[in-house]
Amino acid sequence: MQYSSSVFLVLAVVLLGCVSAHFFGNVISAGNEVDSVLELYIPTIRSKNELCREHSKLYLKELKESKLWATEMFDSTAKFSTGMLHGSSYNFGIFDECINIKVPLDINPFNGKYCLMNITMDSHSKSTRPDIDWEFDDYTKFFNVSVTEKLTAFHHNLFRIRRHSWIMGVCLPSSCSRLDFKEGMEKTLSKMGKSKFTLSIEERDCQTASNQYEFNTGDFVFMYITGGYMLAVIIITFYYKYALSQRLQKDTWSEVMKCFSLSENTRKLLKMPNDFGDGLDHVAGFKVLSLFLVIAGHRSMFYAAQPLINPSSLEKLYHQIHGVVFMNGTIIVDSFFTITGFLSAYLILQRTAHSKSMNVPLLYMHRLVRFLPGYIVIIAFTATIFAKLGSGPLWKQYVGEQMENCQANWWTNLLFLGNYVNVENICVFQSWYLNCDIHFYLVTPLIVWIYKKNPQIAFVMILTLIGAASVMTFAIIYINGFDPIIFVYYDTFKTITKSDSFRDSYVPSHLRIIPYLIGIFYGFAKYKIRTTGYKFHKPLVRICWTVSAIFMCGAIYFCKLLYVPKEDKSEIFSALFAPAHRIAWSLAVGWMILASTEGHSGLLKSLTSWNPFIFLNRITFSAFLVHASPQLYSLGINRTPVYFSIYYLLWQSLGDIFLSYLLGYFLMVFFEAPWAQLESVIYRKKPQSKETAYESEKPLNIVDINKQDKTKKSDQL
């Protein structure tokens, strides 16, 4: 069935959006024919590129004749960005329909090319109607103003999504470059009277079926190595079970096989200890719950940064009490630093309780063996096959960019320099935390050694380092005008790693060490309590819990004072808030850990000591490594804007947590646990000594140190 020219005109007029509305007014009033209307979709029809021009003319000709390929090209092009006055600025068109178009001409055949174009209306430096509050005023006050007023009203307001910029998907012949389309579209936009528009199209935002990521030599090398390794682990697992059934003689080879046995590592993973003498089971609960919040926080970040149907709902969070938690959710990372500092100091003191010296190289080696196997797999996966596993309008922008970053900067990750070198192109964006962790651990043995020699000097040293880090944080933020926290703005998350604040004040180790040092302080306090048998008095416990609650609420809710227009901000308050809120939060978290391990957790006891947390805690590091990949994947494959709601955010966060721990389990039993177990075999003094690492048996109860010589202690919670 063929459509008449008048039908095409009606379809175009009805479906075209804000930008084209101005043009159609001129077209119709001038009496132009339908060709002029359709040319708005095919601005390359007058391109200087001869081949592009001829294919565009063919597109127009066969579109009017309702040929399938031309109609699909027109159909897959975005027409109208619905909801733009409420901030919905994306209209992707139909990505898959476009790139699957094939026009097999005898001479110069071509395919469909999908491009994302960003059209921005030039806005006024200041609104001509500042008296209007678009959110709270009575609608009758502004119902009849020019639409341009609302489109440009929020240009300088970070709390609002920009209404004057739209991103639309277009489909054109593959013989046309992005510059051909840009040049033709700019000529069309220049005819739109008083309204001025600018157009941008990035090279990575133009895709065809032939320029999708394809598997290359590096990808096959990665798959062969990891696939061969995993196959070997599976074979060893079956052979070890066979050896056990035949009761073959145990030797060094059988010990090595045991390290790589999936069934043995899973058994150790699931084994629950009978008792924790010093309450460290609560720390496992805190670690797992903290990672739950980190995963949910990163999902919130990606959820808020992706194209939304109703971004006005996101804007309302800035004015709601529960939205403040969303606005300063990054503080949860400091919980991890505090917990890690606590465990590092306390467990090193445990291991060296009977020795005047400590084997520092062995401590460092253990840390690297714990970190590197799974970390290398994630880096290699991101640098190779990850980008080949999907597609979408935003795939190259998110997943493809991560692949390019890892191909260029993998070495900064392996040297743990990624939070100082090429931060704007960081590989595996959450790896900055691992860099900080390694840097902090390098100085931990020194601080512990000083504590063993003279506890007073160690405490003074910790306070001095906290003070120095606080002063540096204040100075850097005040002098450079950096943000004291990562502000949760819609545009911020799209380029978070490119910001000066992220690079120079958020990720550097020397500025993030405050919570770790506070964790060390609490680790020393825990050790002192266990060796002296000190008991907390109930009034002191109540006071500390009350103060901790105040500190935590203050660290979260005082950030609301920072979410004000730039001209209303106090630079001194912002600079003071940065170190102060980290200190307050970490002191509160440290107290929660110390109190819980000493039996003063109250209602938290049944939660943090829940047995499944012991199992989940052993996978926490691997889950942390893998959790961002599924989130990036879901963002990259989006074909349409999504609906923002707290329900959907919670639903996706729970799915992320489940999937992260599931993938983390496989990463742990295949890559992390075998090498940690092998390390324990290599450094084991006696063949009959206990299994270490992921079995996590009862930690050494330091109270009994002076009563009897115990050698059984936990490797790590």
Q: Are residues 323 and 182 in the same domain?
A: no
Q: What does the pLDDT average to over 600-627?
A: 90
CB 91 within 8 A of CB 81: yes
Task: Point out which residues pair with 200 in neighbouring strands.
Answer: 118
Task: Point out which residues pair with 111 in neighbouring strands.
Answer: 102
Q: Which of 163-177, 484-498, 517-531, 644-658 has the lowest mean pLDDT?
A: 484-498
Q: What is the structure's pLDDT at 243? A: 80
**Closest-CA residue to 9 (of 46, 38, 52):** 38
145-163 pLDDT per residue, tens: 777 777 777 766 777 777 7
Q: What does the pLDDT average to over 88-111?
A: 93
Q: How does residue 303 score in pLDDT terms, banded at 50, 70 and 90?
A: confident
CB 195 within 8 A of CB 121: yes
Residue linked to tokens 């009490």? 321
385 pLDDT exceeds 80? yes
Q: What does the pLDDT average to over 639-654?
A: 92
Q: What is the structure's pLDDT at 15? A: 41
660-696 pLDDT per residue, tens: 999 999 999 999 999 999 988 887 644 443 444 333 3
DSSP state, residue 271? P
- Which residue range forms the structural domain that includes residue 648? 273-609+620-655+699-704
pTM: 0.88
Q: What does the pLDDT average to over 32-39?
A: 64
Q: Are residues 535 and 431 in the same domain?
A: yes
Residues 639 and 52: their CA atoms lie apart, in Å, by 27
Q: What is the structure's pLDDT at 712? A: 37
Q: Are residues 379 and 501 in the same domain?
A: yes
Q: What does the pLDDT average to over 83-92?
A: 82
The tally of domains found in the chain comes to 2
Q: Are residues 186 and 309 in the same domain?
A: no
Q: Are residues 85 and 11 in the same domain?
A: yes
Q: What is the structure's pLDDT at 717? A: 36
Q: What is the structure's pLDDT at 702? A: 34
Q: Are residues 191 and 333 in the same domain?
A: no
Q: What is the structure's pLDDT at 134? A: 65
Q: What is the structure's pLDDT at 313? A: 82
Q: Which of 179, 195, 211 is the last residue of a domain?
A: 211
**Closest-CA residue to 445 (of 345, 368, 350):** 345
Q: Are residues 191 and 313 in the same domain?
A: no
324 pLDDT exceeds 90? no
Dihedral pair phi/psi, residue 542, rounded to 5°: -60, -45
**Closest-CA residue to 71 (of 27, 114, 101):** 101
10 pLDDT exceeds 90? no
- Residue 141, domain member (yes or no): no
Residues 368 and 373: their CA atoms lie apart, in Å, by 9
DSSP state, residue 699? P
Q: Are residues 193 and 294 in the same domain?
A: no
Q: Which token pair is 304? A: 């808020």
Q: Which residue has the higher pLDDT, 460 or 124?
A: 460
- Residue 146, domain member (yes or no): no
**Closest-CA residue to 298 (of 539, 100, 522, 486):** 486
Residues 272 and 284: their CA atoms lie apart, in Å, by 12
Q: How does residue 8 score in pLDDT terms, banded at 50, 70 and 90?
A: very low
Residues 659 and 623: their CA atoms lie apart, in Å, by 9
Residues 624 and 272: their CA atoms lie apart, in Å, by 22
Q: What does the pLDDT average to over 20-32?
A: 42
579-596 pLDDT per residue, tens: 999 999 999 999 999 999
In sequence order, what DSSP letters do the residues of 654-693 get, joined into one string?
HHHHHHHHHHHHHHIIIIIHHHHHHHHHHT-SSTTSPP-G
Q: How does residue 351 score in pLDDT terms, banded at 50, 70 and 90?
A: confident
Residue 85 CB: number of other CB atoms within 10 A? 14
CA distances from 492 to 51, 158, 329, 573, 704 (A): 40, 9, 14, 21, 53
- Residue 527, domain member (yes or no): yes
Q: What is the structure's pLDDT at 126? A: 54
Residues 111 and 103: their CA atoms lie apart, in Å, by 6
The amino acid at 345:
A
Q: How does residue 508 score in pLDDT terms, banded at 50, 70 and 90?
A: very high
Q: Which residue has the higher pLDDT, 488 or 387?
A: 387
1 pLDDT exceeds 50? no
Residues 670 and 188: their CA atoms lie apart, in Å, by 58
Q: What is the structure's pLDDT at 34? A: 60
Q: Which residue has the higher pLDDT, 419 or 279?
A: 419
Q: Is 119 helix (H, G, I), strand (E, B) or coil?
A: strand
Q: Which token pair is 458? A: 């160690």
- Residue 666, domain member (yes or no): no
699 pLDDT exceeds 70? no
533 pLDDT exceeds 90? no
Residues 58 and 79: their CA atoms lie apart, in Å, by 21
703 pLDDT exceeds 70? no
Q: Is 429 helix (H, G, I), strand (E, B) or coil?
A: coil
Handedness of CA 306, 312, 318, 322 (dihedral sign): negative
Q: Which of 172, 194, 211 is the last residue of a domain?
A: 211
Q: What does the pLDDT average to over 260-268?
A: 92
- Residue 205, domain member (yes or no): yes
Residue 94 CB: number of other CB atoms within 10 A? 19
82 pLDDT exceeds 90? no
Q: How does residue 129 score in pLDDT terms, banded at 50, 70 and 90?
A: low
- Residue 694, domain member (yes or no): no
Q: Are residues 535 and 644 in the same domain?
A: yes
Alpha-carbon Rg for the chain in angstroms: 30
CA distances from 362 to 352, 452, 520, 682 (A): 12, 19, 20, 12
Q: Are residues 202 and 279 in the same domain?
A: no
**Closest-CA residue to 715 (of 661, 666, 679):** 679
Q: What does the pLDDT average to over 375-382?
A: 97
Residues 154 and 489: their CA atoms lie apart, in Å, by 13
Q: Which residue has the higher pLDDT, 52 or 28?
A: 52
Q: How does residue 617 score in pLDDT terms, banded at 50, 70 and 90?
A: very high
Q: Are residues 280 and 204 in the same domain?
A: no
Mean pLDDT over the full length of the chain: 84
- Residue 9, domain member (yes or no): yes
DSSP state, residue 41? T
Q: What is the structure's pLDDT at 26? A: 44
159-183 pLDDT per residue, tens: 777 777 889 999 999 999 999 999 9
Q: Which residue has the higher pLDDT, 688 or 53?
A: 53
Q: Are residues 415 and 509 in the same domain?
A: yes
Q: Which residue has the higher pLDDT, 364 or 324?
A: 364
Q: How does residue 275 score in pLDDT terms, banded at 50, 70 and 90?
A: low
Q: Which of 193, 211, 229 is the last residue of a domain?
A: 211
**Closest-CA residue to 466 (of 580, 552, 551):** 580
Q: How does residue 76 score in pLDDT terms, banded at 50, 70 and 90?
A: very high
Dihedral pair phi/psi, residue 175, rounded to 5°: -75, -15
- Residue 469, domain member (yes or no): yes
25 pLDDT exceeds 50? no
